[in-house]
Chains A and B, each alone.
Chain A
Amino acid sequence: MRFKPLLSLTSKTIVLPQDNIDTDQIIPARFLTTTSRKGLGAFAFYDWRYDEDGAIREESPLDSHDPVERAILVAGSNFGCGSSREHAPWALADFGFQAVISSDIADIFKSNALKNGLLPVEVDQKTHQRLLNNPGEELTIDLEKQTVRLSDGWQTVFEVEPFARHCLLEGVDPLGHLMNQMSLIEQFEVERA
């Protein structure tokens, strides 16, 4: 899939401070019977947003979500742990998030997010704590410079896998990159046969 290039993003945050937010929280398994990747935002954090009777949980910070205003999710450590379901970043991206920030993001989730225009940003403990303490703060995430800038001018750098960064910046599809290696793949198969 191709995405529009993501250069930088300025938005307010939504904070979910819990550690170990697993992909079953991000999208409960009962919504995984779909055969499409579209429209999953309706199920993002479903059981956090709605109670047993389907009524909106007023206390949830997600309830006041406005995709234009708040496209950055700040979460506790080990975000996205658990299952490999790509439905998790599909749901978050469809819900309106363009980036997720934590001190530590689970491997498979990170890999899946990068393929779906949802930027996973891992920051140091100090920055993480600041972000957790200030929900709704406006930030600028600059993918090109790999920086997160807070409203008071505090700035920190983050790591992002260089190939994924290239794909996001240029709108390149990783499958195209793999297809371009086809002659080497064929040669590999011949040599080991």
Chain B
Amino acid sequence: MKPQSLFDKLWSRHVVVPETREAPAVLYIDLHLIHEVTSPQAFAALKERKLPVRRPALTIATLDHSTPTTPPDGNGALAYATPEAAAQVQTLIRNCRKHDIRLLDLDDPQRGIVHVIGPELGLTQPGKTVVCGDSHTSTHGAFGALAFGIGTTEVGHVLATQCVLQRKPKSMLVNFNGETPQGVTAKDMALAMIAEIGADGGQGYAIEFAGGAVRALSMEGRMTLCNMSIEAGARFGMVAPDETTFDWVKDRQYAPRGPAWAAALKAWRALPSDYGAAFDKEIDIDASRLRPMITYGVSPDAAAPVNGVSPAPRSDEEKRAAEYMRIEADRPFSDIPVDRVFIGSCTNSRLSDLREAATVMRGRKVRAGVTALVVPGSESVRRAAEAENLHLVFIEAGAEWRRPGCSMCIAMNGDQGAPGELVISTSNRNFVGRQGKGVRTVLASPATAAASAIEGRIADPRPYLQETREMADAV
């Protein structure tokens, strides 16, 4: 038999009707995640056609994009940005009740960002197809799942049929060879990859991430890497499952148990790409040469090592970006003042991300005049972080510790920067106005964002991480 890639296996196992010249494949969906922003019009389409939700047990809903991250007031009321935001939340609550879909409601102890809660609950598993009306659905590919973002019309298709129409994309293998140096995180790997292949370099491809540096990543790190696939234009990103994956999934709420667990493990172990599997494109990246990365432009591929200087614009496009960012050529990044810091989002809001930021911030202070916001990815992450007193580290440093949500990543819940401010952010997009009108966004890892909060300028986190290691060694 012809050697198959992980992607080939995931794809072929979910084909209900094969692709032809005339029509895309009908692909079966095992897990459908929904949130308040991209679902209302899908439910409306169902209503219009008098169709039921076909498999309500395979859809799970959460509230994350429009929800405030500040606690409710004395009367239990939440400070929504607009009445429309509140109405949108209520619409999802109503739709879930009507169609018998499990909703992680506002007071649910498991609520959180859609791409944080899926894995956390053990809903995301190797071998599954996972879709959501959200481009960062590629996150779930970290488990060896076939996960991709869809539009609202397709959300309606899944609700009505549990299937989507999809042509098989081309495949790309991105190898991170060797070991990453100390202080280089999954976020830095992602930004380095996007800088290398471009914001449209992955368009039309499903990416498998492989190599020693990927195998060495924790599940959280793999999620960060897969999450950013879409910033290279790839709808799908994935990592072959291994013991790290299985250990993470085991005993979670929706994970298989007993004999079902043994059977699942056997199936999951057969998923990795066969030796000699063909890819349409292969990219090799030397992980040992990577450094902590930041972005300096308005597209995620405008990324460079944090300890470098800004490059000279090579096109009108880059010139406009440099003007918007107010970063002239040859300026050391360490010279650029920071107004605001955001640690959170489906890219970097998990427990390990918060630990990484806390390692840098512990016993230090956020620079005067800098506002820092730390937003955990879910209620579970919030509880786990508080159990380790990470929230106290942030609060004592002068940062705000908030409730879970997408917050400043998409800035539609009222959490945003002011015009002209420079925000160093652990989120995924540095587009013009993404974090508020006129806001200048610099993407970075949690460690880099934390170091920058302390210095009030873009800062290399490695000296802080080194100091912490030495202190730990001394103890």
Contacts and interface: CB of A to CB of B under 8 A. Distances in A.
A162 to B, nearest CB: 6
B161 A84 contact: no
Interface stretch (B174-182, B218-226, B244-252, B427-435): B427-435
A161 to B, nearest CB: 7
Nearest to B315: A19
Contacts of A111: 150-151, 154
A32 to B, nearest CB: 5
A108 interface: yes
Interface residues on A, range: 35 or more
Contacts of B41: 35-37, 86
Interface stretch (A20-28, A56-64, A93-101): A20-28
Nearest to A28: B433
Given A177-B165, A185-B161, A106 B22 contact: no
A163 B22 contact: yes
B200 A175 contact: no
Contacts of A25: 431-433
Nearest to B320: A18
B82 to A, nearest CB: 6
A35 to B, nearest CB: 4
A107 to B, nearest CB: 5
A171 interface: no
Q: Which of A20, A47, A181 has the most CB of B within 10 A?
A: A20
B153 A115 contact: yes
A78 B431 CA distance: 13
B204 interface: yes
Contacts of B165: 163, 174, 177-178
A24 B432 contact: yes
A166 to B, nearest CB: 7
B16 A185 contact: yes
B419 A52 contact: yes
Given A107-B204, A108-B149, A181-B16, A33 B160 contact: no
Contacts of A115: 151, 153-154
B24 interface: yes
Nearest to A32: B37
A181 B429 contact: no
Contacts of A20: 199-200, 298-299, 317
A34 interface: yes
Contacts of B167: 161
B23 interface: yes
B166 to A, nearest CB: 9
A85 interface: yes
Given A33-B66, A52-B438, A104-B203, A83 B135 contact: yes
A170 B169 CA distance: 26
Interface string B1-44: 00000000000000011000111101010000000011011001
B235 interface: yes
A182 interface: yes
Contact of B203 (A24, A29, A106, A184): A106
B299 to A, nearest CB: 5
B91 A35 contact: yes
Interface string A27-48: 0111011111100000000010
A179 B16 contact: no
Contact of A184 (B16, B38, B40, B156): B16
B203 A107 contact: yes
B233 interface: yes
A82 interface: yes
Contacts of B21: 162
Interface string A152-175: 000000000111001000000011
A2 to B, nearest CB: 11
B451 interface: no
Contacts of A181: 16-17, 26, 161, 163
A1 B45 contact: yes
A36 B24 CA distance: 28
Contacts of B28: 185, 188-189
Interface in B241-296: none
A71 interface: no
A35 B157 contact: no
B49 A175 contact: yes
Contact of B157 (A24, A86, A178): A178
A33 B82 contact: yes
B133 interface: yes
B412 A32 contact: yes
A81 interface: yes
Contact of A33 (B44, B153, B412, B431): B412
A174 to B, nearest CB: 6
B152 interface: yes
Contact of B233 (A106, A162, A163): A106
Interface in B34-88: 37-38, 40-41, 44-45, 49, 65-66, 81-82, 84-85, 87-88
A35 B200 contact: no
A22 to B, nearest CB: 5
Interface string A93-135: 0000000000010111001100110000000000000000000
18 contacts: A18-B320, A20-B317, A24-B431, A24-B432, A29-B410, A35-B88, A47-B433, A47-B437, A78-B199, A84-B135, A106-B203, A115-B151, A174-B153, A174-B165, A178-B157, A181-B17, A181-B163, A188-B28
Interface of A: 1, 18-20, 22, 24-25, 28-30, 32-37, 47, 52, 76-78, 81-86, 104, 106-108, 111-112, 115-116, 161-163, 166, 174-175, 177-179, 181-182, 184-185, 188-189
Interface of B: 16-17, 21-24, 26, 28, 37-38, 40-41, 44-45, 49, 65-66, 81-82, 84-85, 87-88, 91, 133-135, 149-154, 156-157, 160-163, 165, 167, 169, 199-200, 203-204, 233, 235, 298-299, 317, 320, 410-412, 419, 429, 431-434, 437-438
A-B pairs, top 4 by smallest CB distance, nearest first, are A35-B40, A112-B151, A33-B84, A86-B151
